[in-house]
Structure 1
């Protein structure tokens, strides 16, 4: 028996930290959401307040908006995932019901293989997140740390790595502001890892269901080569094909259901990610052109890298689902269906006809998840960056 509680163990732990594990909601998790989302919102709010106390030149606006747009990605993801928490719970229960019906040891092995893929991805994402957070915090505190290590007795004008207005004496309360910023970075990293890892694991299990469907088709057609009583053979072939079609339909249903539930989140993320990528590319170009302090280019470069990686992974997952669906119909075409009885050949022809329509994940009817879509989004971001720069 396949237990999602075991398969999603690491994802469960990460989601519990930020109060987003769908199967365990309580007053405590509601408090976690309010508390953590408030901290994330302050990260954006205190950047917006900088417009009140500073002169709004075009360079300054780009500098502020480039970081605000990146921070907004995590606020959108965290908030909208929480609003769909009940839908996620229902989807996990449906996935568990499907897994409970899988009894064949070969099919269980297939699901375990895809679970291992999900675990490896989540583990790699966790390691990447920890390293990024550690590096980010070091950079945030670097000027103060270097001053202590080098015992420099010269007065330095310390400042935050992002332009933020707390309406306090930032020289006096610098470390308090740095701790606040570090907490925001940690919450954002956990949010990225937990939600991204959870969605990847879910889609990997649906990919496993597509693979099981292909496996059942192969087994059903191979039965035709066995020497057995004709009526028993016919029943086994039909039973195998029907079970393959059923799990294929369930995989498509669960994929489409999840895509529909998180469609608003994905649509908002696509818009904000394209904006963040364009603005941070512009920020990097500004720093390089004006020969400003090279340290200022670090965070825009990190923002661009993370945004591009996240867009790539999201589209790669959608492409992987499309490929797994196509593999099923490739399997149907490749098996020795011509040796099967005539009624089975007719059934297989219906399957092949259905395979002419590509299975895709679309967002708002405008974006179809694929590697081609990833290339289009990056190209659009570069185009917007060029337009904004030419307008300055």
Structure 2
């Protein structure tokens, strides 16, 4: 049974299919979807940068445009991660499916694997709904002037706003609905690029965490008062635990190799965008509608950054817990040879696994708080330049 046939992460698989990165998808369909989605997002960038060029030097106009395009850059970085490493995706998916076939036999181990899969699936669904809801609210908020013209009409129609500022070199007010549809499509594509990559990472980390948990379950078999346990029995249990532990470590290292370059770019761009977004919010403090939209935007970016941090923190916790599970397995009552094997596991378990940004910046909750503080310090510098 695969993790998808068990009913978990079907939404992740559907996202892969939509953006043309599912390994078993036909090349014709895959390339068609990729060209279409990249075309939609690229065609939205051109008018956005035309507007940036026209208003360059005006803080009030330039900063929100740069913030919006920073999000697009993040989306492209994450999407190109999936496009550039199809073999790695297939390898990881095959390993997960093989683990489900290999370990999903005994009741306790099966419960652990299903628990982690269900937990990760719920978490990713909540994330999907949150990001897409924020995207819809961000886009529909631009319809406020249109609604006010209907509810509280004035002598003259209010200026129509767009989801983000663009310049199509045409009369944007006359083609308002068409431009809004294009902007909405770009926002949806951005959201699905970000969500697909992030949810796939959560799926990988949850499975890896379940393997670390299984190590503890296997070692609990040593916790018995039966004095007739042989050295062969002990060695068999410890050997099984070592194999699963090595499998979990190698998968964690594979995940790190897969995401580290992407995280390096994403964390850097995210930090800069949060800084300039906060600066813009202060500049437009009297415009409550704009403040609310920018606040929603910053909360969404912070949520994405937090969501990128939590899997790494979970990997740290789950790999670190192996040390305590080994210490609790009554190893002092084992034979000398078994104790030597246990000590090897104990030494290795002191080195926790983590994900990094560009192989230089460990991703964890402590560093997440530092990033937020650094973003605020950048914001202070920008404010002083006002």
* Equivalent pair of 1:316/1:370 in contact (CA under 8 Å): yes
Aligned to 1:27: 28
Aligned to 2:96: 95
**Pairwise mapping of residues 9-48 of structure 1 onto structure 2 (< 5 A)?**
9-48=10-49
Any stretches of 5+ residues in structure 2 without a counterpart?
A: none
Give the Cα–Cα distance (whole angstroms) in 1 for the partners of residues 179 and 97 of structure 2: 45
Give the Cα–Cα distance (whole angstroms) in 2 for the partners of residues 374 and 236 of structure 1: 45
Aligned to 1:226: 226
* Equivalent pair of 2:261/2:359 in contact (CA under 8 Å): no
Tell whether 2:314 aligns with 1:320.
yes
Give the Cα–Cα distance (whole angstroms) in 1 for the partners of residues 17 and 154 of structure 2: 43
* RMSD (Å), alpha carbons: 2.0
Aligned to 1:205: 207
* Equivalent pair of 1:47/1:163 in contact (CA under 8 Å): yes
Give the Cα–Cα distance (whole angstroms) in 1 for the partners of residues 276 and 24 of structure 2: 38
* Of 209-218 and 46-55, the range deviating more from structure 2: 46-55
Tell whether 2:247 aligns with 1:250.
yes
* Of 357-366 and 301-310, the range deviating more from structure 2: 357-366
Change (3 A) 1:148 1:18: farther
Aligned to 2:333: 339
Give the Cα–Cα distance (whole angstroms) in 1 for the partners of residues 363 and 308 of structure 2: 8
The count of corresponding residues between Structure 1 and Structure 2 is 384
Change (3 A) 1:142 1:204: same
Give the Cα–Cα distance (whole angstroms) in 1 for the partners of residues 268 and 132 of structure 2: 27
* Deviation of the 1:151 alpha carbon: 6.3
* Deviation of the 1:227 alpha carbon: 5.0
* Equivalent pair of 2:76/2:193 in contact (CA under 8 Å): no
Aligned to 1:122: 124
The 3-state SS of whatever aligns with 1:24 is coil
* Deviation of the 1:164 alpha carbon: 1.0
Match of 2:347 among 348, 353, 366: 353
Aligned to 1:104: 106
Give the Cα–Cα distance (whole angstroms) in 2 for the partners of residues 23 and 242 of structure 1: 35
The 3-state SS of whatever aligns with 1:101 is helix
* Equivalent pair of 1:37/1:78 in contact (CA under 8 Å): no
Per-residue CA deviation, residues 106-138 of structure 1 (Å, 9 max, x unaligned), is 111100000110111122123223432332332
* Equivalent pair of 1:81/1:262 in contact (CA under 8 Å): no
Aligned to 2:180: 178
Give the Cα–Cα distance (whole angstroms) in 1 for the partners of residues 372 and 24 of structure 2: 36
Aligned to 1:383: 377
Tell whether 2:272 aligns with 1:275.
yes
Give the Cα–Cα distance (whole angstroms) in 2 for the partners of residues 161 and 351 of structure 1: 54
Tell whether 2:109 aligns with 1:79.
no
The 3-state SS of whatever aligns with 2:223 is helix
Give the Cα–Cα distance (whole angstroms) in 2 for the partners of residues 369 and 144 of structure 1: 43
Give the Cα–Cα distance (whole angstroms) in 1 for the partners of residues 236 and 4 of structure 2: 27
Match of 1:240 among 201, 217, 237: 237
Per-residue CA deviation, residues 201-257 of structure 1 (Å, 9 max, x unaligned), is 1110110010001111111x225x3354x5xx3222211111111111111111211
The 3-state SS of whatever aligns with 1:163 is coil
* Deviation of the 1:359 alpha carbon: 2.6
Give the Cα–Cα distance (whole angstroms) in 2 for the partners of residues 342 and 336 of structure 1: 13
* Deviation of the 1:74 alpha carbon: 1.4
TM-score by length of 1: 0.91
* Deviation of the 1:381 alpha carbon: 0.9
Give the Cα–Cα distance (whole angstroms) in 2 for the partners of residues 149 and 121 of structure 1: 39
Tell whether 2:139 aligns with 1:137.
yes
Give the Cα–Cα distance (whole angstroms) in 1 for the partners of residues 44 and 372 of structure 2: 26
Change (3 A) 1:51 1:9: closer
* Deviation of the 1:369 alpha carbon: 1.4
* Of 94-103 and 162-171, the range deviating more from structure 2: 94-103
Tell whether 2:310 aligns with 1:310.
no
Per-residue CA deviation, residues 54-81 of structure 1 (Å, 9 max, x unaligned), is 3532443323212211222112212222
Give the Cα–Cα distance (whole angstroms) in 2 for the partners of residues 198 and 380 of structure 1: 28
The 3-state SS of whatever aligns with 1:166 is coil
* Deviation of the 1:170 alpha carbon: 0.5
TM-score by length of 2: 0.93
Match of 1:363 among 357, 360, 363: 357
Give the Cα–Cα distance (whole angstroms) in 2 for the partners of residues 217 and 55 of structure 1: 63
Any stretches of 5+ residues in structure 1 without a counterpart?
A: none
